[in-house]
């Protein structure tokens, strides 16, 4: 496993001072899982490249205190660890480049603070969640990212892509900043079992991330993945890093991700997209009194309340816990009287006719229908379309076809343990069209998220408009 760091800063061979490694020698150090070799494939005043070759000893790995894995019997002998950048690479960086990582440069101390142009190449980096995640981790820190994804097996292109990337990162910064980013973010990309899992790691995370983590838009993912499987440590870290509001949100997210299966959807982003798509449709339809049916944590309600067009927003969810979380999230207790009159949260089930849902001109069901089994879905159809019959109804649900694009796709496995079904575009369109005909609505279908030419977008949306009501659309 190879990591190279190049600079064209003049004189480029200053890099060897910064790294405390002689440019004319090959040097080796031991880490628990194997050996690290450091050498310079090119060194002159115009360009200098330092290579760190991590040679993991697969047998040593089995004997060491590292992660064993328990996915299948021979996993501890047959795994990708020797061939990819993982938390072992961070250990290698910390050991081989320890002075540089701590910002010390013994012979030329002034160099430690100099921002230089660096290019880093990682020959094989596993990235759970794909290129989007990779970019969301490095781009906010100013990196230019170029990534080549490798197929699972070039002989069988139909198997699709693997989670392995060859990655090139360029940026202008100090070497200490660069190494601290790599130290934290390589295991975050990998998101496999890390060999570290103790209290000390929280401290290391803060030490390495002190100047940049707090401002990083993806800090929550970073902390959770870095402290993988250590929920209490992650919460502790988030408690320090995030503001109170953000921390509460993080804990709530955790309760939802807890029951999520391993199939990883770039959840945060796509979920934001769905919520905004639903809000935009309701705005466009000219709706003034709107209902969020199955509001979960109340995220959509928060977005809706920010729009003046919506005079009244009702949230209904079957779960009492949702009610408590949303109340807190929306700070209902602290809202000024006028705002408070615009919103109401109720507990109730969409599978029963409920008079409190009468008289709305817009309703959204964002990622709700797939949580209901067939008889309950039929009951929901009646209570929403036959009895409540809001003028516009926006429904979103996952597009099952897209699941093959997830890094750890398994046939038949759904995105969430609680999903009773996930539909293809055809299935959703057929369901929606029948419903529209039956209850006298027009319907159009839209993708949510970037559209893949073969399998469509991550999520799909149907917008129903009642035929017997003429609305002035706001275009
Ligand atoms: N719309 C939210 C939550 C989606 S999760 C969001 O996009 O973030 C599905 C939600 O539907 C959960 O909060 C669950 O409690 C709610 N739900 C499931 N069955 C329901 C029913 N019969 N009536 C009302 N809400 C229901």
Average pLDDT, the chain: 84
Q: 232 Cβ partners below 8 Å, 6+ apart?
A: none
Provide the percentage of residues in the chain whose pLDDT is more than 90. Answer: 52
The answer on 278 and 174 residing in a single domain is no
Let me know if residue 75 belongs to a domain. Answer: yes
Give the integer Cα–Cα distance in Å for 233 and 202: 7
DSSP secondary structure letter of residue 109? G
Let me know if residue 218 belongs to a domain. Answer: no
Provide the percentage of residues in the chain whose pLDDT is more than 70. Answer: 83
Neighbour tally for 310: CB within 10 Å = 21
Does residue 204 carry a pLDDT above 80? no
In this structure, what token pair is assigned to residue 52? 């760190």
Q: Is 299 in the pocket of ligand 1 (CB under 6 A)?
A: yes
Decide which of 168 and 88 is more confident.
168
Cα 240 to Cα 15, 142, 205, 320, distances in angstroms: 35, 24, 12, 29
The answer on 171 and 293 residing in a single domain is no
Does residue 71 carry a pLDDT above 70? no
Q: Minimal CA–CA distance to 425: which of 390, 458, 378? A: 458
Let me know if residue 228 belongs to a domain. Answer: no
Nearest Cα residue to atom 9 of ligand 1: 368
Give the integer Cα–Cα distance in Å for 56 and 64: 11
The answer on 417 and 317 residing in a single domain is yes
Average pLDDT of the residues in 149-164: 86
The answer on 188 and 274 residing in a single domain is no
- How many angstroms is it from 268 CA to the middle of ligand 1? 17
Nearest Cα residue to atom 23 of ligand 1: 349
Q: Is 367 in the pocket of ligand 1 (CB under 6 A)?
A: yes
- DSSP state string for 363-401: EEEES-GGGS-HHHHHHHHIIIIIII--SEEEEEEEBGG
Does residue 357 carry a pLDDT above 90? yes
Q: Which helix (H) or strand (E) holds 48?
A: strand 48-56
The answer on 20 and 117 residing in a single domain is yes
In this structure, what token pair is assigned to residue 86? 């993982």
Give the integer Cα–Cα distance in Å for 231 and 253: 12
Cα 79 to Cα 42, 76, 279, distances in angstroms: 32, 7, 45
E strands, 83-227, are 116-126, 144-151, 161-173
The answer on 300 and 176 residing in a single domain is no
Assess contact for 124 and 44: CB atoms under 8 A. no
- How many angstroms is it from 317 CA to the middle of ligand 1? 6
Q: How confident is the model at residue 74 (pLDDT cuts 50, 70, 90)?
A: low
Question: Worst-scoring range by mean pLDDT, 121-130, 141-150, 189-198, 348-357?
Answer: 189-198
DSSP secondary structure letter of residue 279? H
Best substitution site from 258, 282, 296, 382 to test ligand 1's pocket, by max atoms within 8 Å of Cβ?
Answer: 296
Last residue of a domain, one of 164, 195, 226: 195
The answer on 314 and 177 residing in a single domain is no
Q: How confident is the model at residue 244 (pLDDT cuts 50, 70, 90)?
A: very low
Q: Which atom of ligand 1 is nearest to the CA of 296?
A: 13
Q: Minimal CA–CA distance to 50: which of 81, 5, 116, 13? A: 5
- 396 burial type by CB count under 10 A (0-12 exposed, 13-18 middle, 19+ buried): buried
Q: 341 Cβ partners below 8 Å, 6+ apart?
A: none
Q: Is 296 in the pocket of ligand 1 (CB under 6 A)?
A: yes
Peptide bond preceding 11 in cis form (omega within 30 of 0):
yes
- How many angstroms is it from 234 CA to the middle of ligand 1? 27
- How many angstroms is it from 363 CA to the middle of ligand 1? 13
What is the CATH number for 48? 3.30.1610.20
Q: How confident is the model at residue 197 (pLDDT cuts 50, 70, 90)?
A: very low
Let me know if residue 204 belongs to a domain. Answer: no
Last residue of a domain, one of 173, 195, 217: 195
Q: Helix (H, G, I), strand (E, B), or coil: what is residue 36?
A: strand
- Highest-confidence segment of 57-66, 153-162, 418-427: 418-427
Best substitution site from 267, 297, 318, 363 to test ligand 1's pocket, by max atoms within 8 Å of Cβ?
Answer: 318
Say what the pLDDT of residue 295 is: 96
Say what the pLDDT of residue 201 is: 65
Let me know if residue 357 belongs to a domain. Answer: yes
Q: How confident is the model at residue 258 (pLDDT cuts 50, 70, 90)?
A: very low
- The model's pLDDT over 19-52, given as tens digits with 9 standing for 90+, comes to 999 999 999 998 877 899 999 999 999 999 999 9
The total domain count for the chain is: 2
Assess contact for 118 and 171: CB atoms under 8 A. yes
Best substitution site from 368, 376, 388, 421 to test ligand 1's pocket, by max atoms within 8 Å of Cβ?
Answer: 368
Q: Is 294 in the pocket of ligand 1 (CB under 6 A)?
A: yes
Average pLDDT of the residues in 274-284: 94
- Highest-confidence segment of 65-74, 100-109, 442-451: 442-451
Give the integer Cα–Cα distance in Å for 392 and 472: 12
Decide which of 67 and 99 is more confident.
99
- The model's pLDDT over 364-403, given as tens digits with 9 standing for 90+, comes to 999 999 999 988 999 999 999 999 999 999 999 999 999 8
Neighbour tally for 41: CB within 10 Å = 11
Q: How confident is the model at residue 268 (pLDDT cuts 50, 70, 90)?
A: very low
Best substitution site from 317, 365, 373 to test ligand 1's pocket, by max atoms within 8 Å of Cβ?
Answer: 317
Q: Is 170 in the pocket of ligand 1 (CB under 6 A)?
A: no
The answer on 298 and 156 residing in a single domain is no
Say what the pLDDT of residue 195 is: 60
Give the integer Cα–Cα distance in Å for 133 and 449: 15
Last residue of a domain, one of 195, 210, 227: 195
Q: Which helix (H) or strand (E) holds 462?
A: strand 459-466
The answer on 153 and 9 residing in a single domain is yes
Decide which of 70 and 132 is more confident.
132
Give the integer Cα–Cα distance in Å for 392 and 232: 43
The answer on 452 and 325 residing in a single domain is yes
Let me know if residue 235 belongs to a domain. Answer: no
The answer on 275 and 190 residing in a single domain is no
What is the CATH number for 437? 3.40.50.150
Say what the pLDDT of residue 185 is: 93
Q: Minimal CA–CA distance to 112: which of 123, 98, 121, 101? A: 101
Q: Which atom of ligand 1 is nearest to the CA of 351?
A: 22
Q: Is 277 in the pocket of ligand 1 (CB under 6 A)?
A: no
The answer on 364 and 280 residing in a single domain is yes
Say what the pLDDT of residue 249 is: 52
Give the integer Cα–Cα distance in Å for 96 and 84: 18
Question: Worst-scoring range by mean pLDDT, 85-94, 108-117, 181-190, 294-303?
Answer: 85-94
Does residue 93 carry a pLDDT above 70? yes
Give the integer Cα–Cα distance in Å for 121 and 26: 19
Assess contact for 32 and 22: CB atoms under 8 A. no
Let me know if residue 251 belongs to a domain. Answer: no
φ, ψ for residue 164 (rounded to 5)?
A: -100, 135
Assess contact for 97 and 4: CB atoms under 8 A. no
Let me know if residue 422 belongs to a domain. Answer: yes
Assess contact for 426 and 182: CB atoms under 8 A. no
Nearest Cα residue to atom 7 of ligand 1: 366
- How many angstroms is it from 255 CA to the middle of ligand 1? 14
Query: How many CA atoms within 13 Å lie on the side-chain side of 293?
Result: 31
φ, ψ for residue 45 (rounded to 5)?
A: -75, -20
Q: Is 416 in the pocket of ligand 1 (CB under 6 A)?
A: no
In this structure, what token pair is assigned to residue 131? 């290129």
Residue 440's domain spans which residues? 270-474
Give the integer Cα–Cα distance in Å for 28 and 25: 10
- The model's pLDDT over 337-347, given as tens digits with 9 standing for 90+, comes to 888 999 999 98
Dihedral (CA of 406, 193, 217, 238) sign = positive
Say what the pLDDT of residue 68 is: 46
């Amino acid at each position: 496993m190879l990591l190279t760091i190049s600079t064209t800063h003049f004189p480029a061979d200053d890099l060897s001072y910064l790294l405390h490694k002689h440019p004319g020698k090959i040097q080796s150090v031991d880490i628990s899982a194997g050996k690290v070799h450091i050498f310079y494939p090119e060194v002159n005043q115009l360009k200098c490249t330092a290579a760190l070759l991590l040679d993991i000893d697969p047998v040593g790995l089995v004997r060491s205190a590292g992660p064993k894995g328990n996915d299948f019997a021979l996993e501890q002998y047959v795994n990708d660890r020797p061939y990819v950048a993982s938390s072992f690479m961070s250990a290698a960086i910390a050991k081989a480049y320890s002075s540089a990582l701590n910002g010390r440069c013994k012979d030329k101390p002034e160099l430690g603070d100099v921002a230089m142009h660096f290019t880093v190449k990682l020959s094989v980096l596993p990235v759970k969640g794909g290129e989007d995640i990779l970019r969301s981790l490095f781009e906010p820190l100013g990196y230019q990212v170029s990534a080549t994804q490798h197929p699972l097996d070039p002989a069988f292109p139909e198997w699709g892509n693997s989670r392995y990337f060859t990655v090139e990162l360029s940026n202008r910064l100090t070497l200490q900043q660069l190494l601290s980013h790599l130290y934290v973010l390589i295991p975050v990309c990998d998101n496999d079992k890390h060999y570290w899992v103790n209290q000390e790691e929280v401290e290391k995370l803060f030490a390495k991330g002190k100047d940049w983590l707090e401002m990083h838009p993806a800090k929550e993912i970073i902390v959770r993945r870095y402290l993988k499987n250590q929920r209490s440590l992650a919460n502790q870290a988030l408690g320090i890093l995030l503001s109170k509001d953000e921390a509460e949100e993080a804990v709530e997210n955790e309760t939802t991700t807890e029951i999520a299966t391993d199939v990883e959807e770039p959840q945060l982003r796509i979920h934001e997209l769905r919520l905004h798509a639903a809000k935009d449709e309701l705005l466009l339809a000219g709706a003034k009194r709107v209902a969020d049916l199955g509001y979960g944590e109340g995220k959509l309600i928060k977005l809706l309340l920010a729009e003046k067009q919506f005079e009244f927003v009702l949230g209904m969810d079957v779960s009492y816990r949702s009610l408590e979380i949303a109340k807190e999230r929306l700070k209902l207790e602290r809202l000024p009287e006028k705002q408070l009159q615009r919103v109401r949260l109720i507990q109730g089930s969409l599978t029963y006719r409920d008079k409190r849902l009468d008289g709305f001109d817009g309703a959204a069901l964002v990622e709700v229908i797939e949580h209901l089994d067939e008889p309950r879905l039929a009951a929901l159809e009646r209570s929403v379309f036959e009895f409540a019959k809001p003028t516009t109804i926006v429904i979103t649900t996952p597009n099952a076809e897209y699941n093959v694009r997830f890094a750890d796709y398994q046939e038949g496995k759904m995105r969430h343990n609680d999903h009773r079904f996930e539909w293809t575009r055809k299935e959703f369109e057929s369901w929606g069209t029948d419903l529209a005909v039956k209850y006298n609505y027009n319907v159009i279908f839209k993708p949510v998220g970037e559209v893949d030419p073969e399998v469509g977008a991550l999520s799909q949306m149907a917008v129903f408009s009642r035929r017997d009501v003429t609305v002035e659309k706001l275009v």
